[in-house]
Chains A and B, each alone.
Chain A
Amino acid sequence: MDDQFLQTIIIGLSNGLIYALVALGYTLVYGILQLINFAHGDVFMLGSMIALTLLTAFGVVPGLPLLNTVFLIVVVLLITMAITAVLNVSIERIAYRPLRNAPKLAPLISAIGMSFILQNVGLLWKGPANLGYPDVIPSTNILTSVFGFNTDLEFTFKQFFVAIITIPLLLVLMWFVGSTRQGKAMRATAQDPDTAGLMGIDVNRTIAITFVIAGALAGAAGLVQILYNNTTVWNLGFRFGLNAFTSAVLGGIGNLQGAVLGGIVLGLINAFSDRYLSAQWTNAIVFGVLIAVLVFRPTGLLGQQVADRA
């Protein structure tokens, strides 16, 4: 295996982890409401803008001492996650909860409307231009500078940062849904809301908590996007959201491990298509994958039986 191939894998994995964070938001909401939350990608976009604003406000610039940088990034991460969580749960309250009993297309259309609203909020807030942020975390190669290997392969501090932010979040989420009382309530509601309600679970509260978690993950992904890809723009959420949704479908929508796996696979597909085909075809390939998965294997790679419900 040559270096270029390994390098593509590293790039794909880093982007894939960001996709996974956003894909989890889609899959959590879909699992519990059978709703494609179109606005989720735009919550991620607003998360990246909030993170950008906070980083600027706190004066996180390249060249700060390491400890200060780490501390401030953690603070920004927590504030961003809190804001996007509140935002997401407000969206649920305004746009989805009144439509609980409506036919299925109604909340979907409402979600599309919400997506347009959020995009325009971003547009009004930050303007139409691409927003950049300087490299706070150095893009120096860990393999050569820390380990002293003699290699052309690059694994940068930035990519390491993506991993140390996303992987713990993913693990905490798995633990939360799999092992806590509230997680059990979420699984029960996803399985059968009526019966869950009869068993004494507050369904509305459980759904709200799901949106809180999804929003917080989107906020974290927004911060990682700013610090790793250094850029955001008002319509970032649409394409990124579709990629993330494709990841969720690829892994089997409603399945948490599937969303993570799907995100990573999609990151790899993106990276390989960029490298070996052409970047202008990448979007077409992603949608081609999406259509192919939905048509030939609607349950995804790790899916449960959801095709019938969809």
Chain B
Amino acid sequence: MSSLISPVRVESTGGLPSWLRRIGGTVTGWPAFYRAQYASNPRRVILLTLMVIGIFVYPIAYQAVPSSITRALPIPSSTVVVFMLIFGIMAIGLNIVIGFAGLLDLGYVAFYAIGAYTAAFLASPHFGGLSIVLFSDLPAGFPGIHLPFSVILILAAAVAATFGALLGAPTLRLRGDYLAIVTLGFGEIVPIFFKNLVNVNFSFLFIRLENANLTGGPLGINPIDAPSFFGIKFGVISGWAPVYLGLGLVIIAIVIARNLERSRMGRAWMAIREDEIAAEMMGVNTVRTKLLAFALGAAFAGCAGALQASYQGATTSDFFMFSTSILVVIMIILGGIGNIWGVLLGAVVVQYVDKTLLSWIGNRLSDVGAATGLEQLGRINPSTFSFLLLGITLVAMMRFRPEGFLPSRQRAAELHTAPPGEALGSSALFEEEGVIEELDPTEPGGEEDPEILEAPDETPGDQEPPP
């Protein structure tokens, strides 16, 4: 009966091993701020500390170890890490659209492409007839437009957001799956435009184009200036430096998304997601709110696209396919829809499996094949199975854990109990199947989410009516 009188636990360490807790607790020489944070939430602080240490130790360790060893282990190279971060930004942005506002966007890659081509137009010798060189280490008079990366980032976000608003304005009154299809169509059209605008003959007022090569066609635009700050280049050839640029952008994205989530707009998004009609009754301007979610989500993808194009130094339309949109959706669903840390985890895991683990398995299989004489083994290329795996993952996740691995608590509760009227068929019809498992919203199976505990009054009713 001792369990009945066990003392009330003040701090929850969420199942961390005890030795780790001890290490975290004994670091007494650390600043008071750190210790205060640790006292309030040891789990989060320990995880963050480990992440920060890992981020600085990993590149050093990776470079210190000879390449024959790094190649033999399934560990991500700098390019893979940068792509984890690029897709992390995309996942955070798409999470605003799908996770916060509940709008399914299947053409997210369009904004990624728009961002990439914005960077390509504004930082490359592509428009050789012009010469606009601003704040760049290139000499004045260098052919083409060359703007600094920070400006490009802002412009790419702005252009993508504008297109997001342009697409959203007429289509956001459509609901659910119709919106999904319209965005899908948009996601297909944009790359077609980038691919085909090669020999443009166009004349309107004073604009006159004759056989103008606007987008480089199927070849794309190449080269694009690498991002450069204070004379340091962050291109694909600069090794691990771009990782820190990407990391900086991801942190900015996290801060913005977190603040948006807790802002009045964030609560309005949640209200719309849960019940659009009720939200409208409560005075939420649904059109403006949804449009803002769409445009902001697009801006994140624009930044990610600009980073990708500048980092790789090239962009082609073939890079922007429907499967890329779905890849980001999978990251969100896998990681935990609605939760920023969850979707980041999803981006890291999906990129890791797709770009590192599968090819590593392929190499090991061919090693084994060569050693044992089974040549069939060597011919299996697991990378071709990546979308099979992702498809199976999607179906399985929807069936067994629709809220993802690190779910947002509210989202998990919503996904387990459909709102009345949304689901097909009465409960009686499905009783024998055991499909309906009522989930008590006050007691979700998932882990504790400190965000929700801090702000328990996140209900649409709290909002003041907009002015």
Interface residues, chain A, with chain B CB atoms under 8 Å away:
33-36, 94-95, 97-110, 112-117, 119-121, 123-124, 193-194, 197-198, 203-204, 238, 242, 245, 249, 280-281, 283-284, 287-288, 290-291, 294-295, 298, 307, 310
Mostly, the B contact residues are helix
A99 vs B189: C-alpha distance in the bound complex, in angstroms? 31
- Please pick, from A98, A106, A284, A290, the residue contacting B192 in the complex, using a CB distance under 8 A: A284
Establish whether residues A106 and B390, one from each chain, have CB atoms under 8 Å apart when the complex forms. Answer: no
Please report which residues of chain B, range 433-466, place their CB below 8 angstroms from some CB of chain A when the two chains form the complex: 433, 435-436
Establish whether residues A287 and B186, one from each chain, have CB atoms under 8 Å apart when the complex forms. Answer: yes
Known: A103-B419, A238-B322, A249-B181. A287 touches B436 (CB 8 A): no
A102 vs B337: C-alpha distance in the bound complex, in angstroms? 15
Per CB-CB distance, the 7 closest pairs between chain A and chain B, nearest first, are A113-B394, A116-B391, A120-B388, A287-B185, A117-B391, A113-B395, A110-B398
B333 CB contacts on chain A under 8 angstroms: 109
Nearest A residue (CB) for B177: A36
Known: A101-B418, A102-B423, A106-B415. A290 touches B181 (CB 8 A): yes
Q: Answer yes or no: B16 CB below 8 A from chain A CBs.
A: no
B399 CB contacts on chain A under 8 angstroms: 95, 98-99, 110
Establish whether residues B425 and A100, one from each chain, have CB atoms under 8 Å apart when the complex forms. Answer: yes
Known: A34-B177, A36-B181, A106-B398. A100 touches B171 (CB 8 A): no
A238 CB contacts on chain B under 8 angstroms: 322
A290 vs B102: C-alpha distance in the bound complex, in angstroms? 22
B184 CB contacts on chain A under 8 angstroms: 242
- Please pick, from A100, A107, A290, A307, the residue contacting B182 in the complex, using a CB distance under 8 A: A290
Nearest A residue (CB) for B190: A284
A-B CB contact pairs (8 Å), 29 listed: A33-B424, A36-B181, A98-B435, A99-B398, A99-B399, A100-B423, A101-B427, A101-B436, A102-B402, A103-B415, A105-B102, A107-B398, A108-B180, A109-B329, A109-B333, A112-B326, A113-B394, A113-B395, A114-B395, A116-B388, A117-B391, A121-B388, A123-B384, A124-B388, A283-B192, A284-B196, A294-B182, A295-B170, A307-B174
Interface residues, chain B, with chain A CB atoms under 8 Å away:
102, 104, 106, 170-171, 174-178, 180-182, 184-186, 188-189, 192-193, 195-196, 322, 326, 329, 333, 384-385, 387-388, 390-395, 398-399, 402, 414-415, 418-419, 422-430, 433, 435-436
A283 vs B387: C-alpha distance in the bound complex, in angstroms? 24
> Min CB distance, A222 to chain B, in Å?
20
B423 CB contacts on chain A under 8 angstroms: 100-103
> Min CB distance, B350 to chain A, in Å?
13
Nearest B residue (CB) for A119: B387
Nearest B residue (CB) for A286: B185
A298 CB contacts on chain B under 8 angstroms: 174, 178
Given A97-B433, A116-B394, output 14 extra A-B contacts at Cβ < 8 Å: A35-B177, A95-B395, A100-B423, A101-B427, A101-B435, A109-B104, A112-B326, A113-B390, A119-B391, A120-B385, A242-B184, A291-B186, A295-B171, A307-B178
B329 CB contacts on chain A under 8 angstroms: 109, 112
Nearest B residue (CB) for A104: B176
Establish whether residues B392 and A113, one from each chain, have CB atoms under 8 Å apart when the complex forms. Answer: yes
Establish whether residues A284 and B189, one from each chain, have CB atoms under 8 Å apart when the complex forms. Answer: yes
A187 vs B189: C-alpha distance in the bound complex, in angstroms? 35
Known: A287-B189, A291-B185. A203 touches B174 (CB 8 A): no
Establish whether residues B177 and A203, one from each chain, have CB atoms under 8 Å apart when the complex forms. Answer: no
A41 vs B414: C-alpha distance in the bound complex, in angstroms? 30
Establish whether residues A120 and B387, one from each chain, have CB atoms under 8 Å apart when the complex forms. Answer: yes
B398 CB contacts on chain A under 8 angstroms: 95, 99, 102, 106-107, 109-110, 113
Nearest A residue (CB) for B432: A204
Nearest A residue (CB) for B180: A108
Known: A100-B425, A110-B398, A120-B387. A294 touches B415 (CB 8 A): no
Nearest B residue (CB) for A98: B399
Establish whether residues A103 and B418, one from each chain, have CB atoms under 8 Å apart when the complex forms. Answer: yes
A114 vs B180: C-alpha distance in the bound complex, in angstroms? 17
Establish whether residues A100 and B189, one from each chain, have CB atoms under 8 Å apart when the complex forms. Answer: no
Nearest A residue (CB) for B107: A287
> Min CB distance, A1 to chain B, in Å?
29
B171 CB contacts on chain A under 8 angstroms: 291, 294-295
Establish whether residues B182 and A110, one from each chain, have CB atoms under 8 Å apart when the complex forms. Answer: no
B427 CB contacts on chain A under 8 angstroms: 101
Nearest B residue (CB) for A121: B388
Nearest B residue (CB) for A289: B185
- Please pick, from B180, B189, B428, the residue contacting A197 in the complex, using a CB distance under 8 A: B428
Establish whether residues A290 and B426, one from each chain, have CB atoms under 8 Å apart when the complex forms. Answer: no
B426 CB contacts on chain A under 8 angstroms: 193-194, 197-198
> Min CB distance, B202 to chain A, in Å?
15
A197 vs B425: C-alpha distance in the bound complex, in angstroms? 8
A291 vs B171: C-alpha distance in the bound complex, in angstroms? 8
Establish whether residues B391 and A197, one from each chain, have CB atoms under 8 Å apart when the complex forms. Answer: no
Establish whether residues B390 and A100, one from each chain, have CB atoms under 8 Å apart when the complex forms. Answer: no
> Min CB distance, A256 to chain B, in Å?
19
Establish whether residues A291 and B182, one from each chain, have CB atoms under 8 Å apart when the complex forms. Answer: yes
A295 CB contacts on chain B under 8 angstroms: 170-171, 174, 182
Known: A104-B177, A109-B333, A116-B387. A193 touches B425 (CB 8 A): yes
A36 vs B104: C-alpha distance in the bound complex, in angstroms? 13
Known: A103-B415, A287-B188, A290-B185. A109 touches B394 (CB 8 A): yes
A123 CB contacts on chain B under 8 angstroms: 384
- Please pick, from B174, B195, B322, B388, the residue contacting A294 in the complex, using a CB distance under 8 A: B174
Known: A116-B388, A242-B188. A294 touches B181 (CB 8 A): yes
Known: A102-B398, A103-B422. A203 touches B429 (CB 8 A): yes
> Min CB distance, A58 to chain B, in Å?
30
> Min CB distance, B193 to chain A, in Å?
7
Nearest A residue (CB) for B417: A101
Known: A95-B395, A280-B196. A101 touches B430 (CB 8 A): yes
Known: A109-B329, A281-B192, A310-B176. A245 touches B181 (CB 8 A): yes
A245 vs B196: C-alpha distance in the bound complex, in angstroms? 24
B186 CB contacts on chain A under 8 angstroms: 287, 291
B435 CB contacts on chain A under 8 angstroms: 98, 100-101
A288 CB contacts on chain B under 8 angstroms: 185, 189
